[in-house]
Amino acid sequence: MAGRLQNKRIMITGAAQGIGLAIAQACHREGAALLLLDRDGTLLATTTERLRASGATLFEASADITDADAVARAVGDGAAAIGPLNALVNNAGINVFSEPLAMDDAAWQRCFDVNLKGAWNCCRAVLPGMIAAGGGAILNIASTHAFTIIPHTFPYPLAKHALLGMTKALGLEYAPQGVRVNALAPGYVETQKVIDYWNTFPDPQAAKAQTLALHPGGRIATPEEIALAAVFMISDECPFMNAACLTVDGGLSVRQHE
C-alpha cells in the first residue's frame, strides 16, 4: 500500500461491480477503511469477501440509496464499525435513455430518484459528521452527460446536469466547514453495463468498434483508470479542489465530428 488514503474512512455506493468496485479496490490499496453500499446484497457479499481476503477493513450494507432511512442506518452502522466517515463517493446510478415523448412518468421518476435524490440522500447522511469533524470530501460520479447531450438519452443527462449543480452548490455551502465537494465525469468505460449495451445490437463487435472510433485514442477507459482519478480527488493531494468537475474521457467531449 502506498498509504495515500491512510486514516480515511470512505463510503462508496454502487460498490459491488464496475466503477464502484474499482474505486473500492483502489482505496483499499491506498490504506482506506471502507463502507460499501449496493442494492444487490448477493453480489456485494461476493465483492466484500474478496476484499476482506486481501486484507481490507470494511463494513458492507445492502441498501437502496433512494431510501433515505436505509442510507442513514447504513452510515450509522458503518461509522460504528470502521469509525466516523471522512469521505463519500456517490457512484451508484442507472441509465434511463429514451426519446422524450416516448418516456413514461415512472422512468422519469426512477432516473431522478437514483441519480440525483439518491446522491443527495447519501450527502445528507454524511455531512453532519464531516462538519462536526472539521472537514471531509465528497465525490459525485457524474458523466460527460453532465455537460453534453446525446439524442435519445433523455432524461439521464438532465439528472447528471443537476448532479453537477448540486456538487457546486454543496461545495460552496460547506467550504467554510472544511468539506470539499467535487464531481468526476467519465465518458465511456468498459463496464458490464456498456458490454450489455453493445450486446443489444445485431453485431456487438461492430457496435463496440463504433464506440471506440469516437475517441481520439481509439479506446475507452477501464474502471481502474477512473478509480485512479477518484483516489486523487478524495486524497489530501488535492486539498484546494472544490465545487469542480474533472473530466476523464480520453478527449471524447471536446472532439467535434469529422
Helices first, then strands: H and E counts in the chain? 9, 9
Catalytic-residue membership of 197:
no
In the set 156, 174, 188, 197, the catalytic residue is 156
**What is the rounded CA–CA span in Å between residue 170 and residue 95?**
24
Do residues 27 and 10 make contact, with C-beta atoms less than 8 angstroms apart? yes
Question: Which residue, among 161, 119, 169, 131, has the nearest Cα to 144 in the 3D structure?
Answer: 161
CA-based angle 6:9:12, to the nearest 5?
A: 120
Question: Which residue, among 23, 130, 14, has the nearest Cα to 66 in the 3D structure?
Answer: 14
CA-based angle 248:253:255, to the nearest 5?
A: 125
Q: Which active-site residues does the annotation give?
A: 156
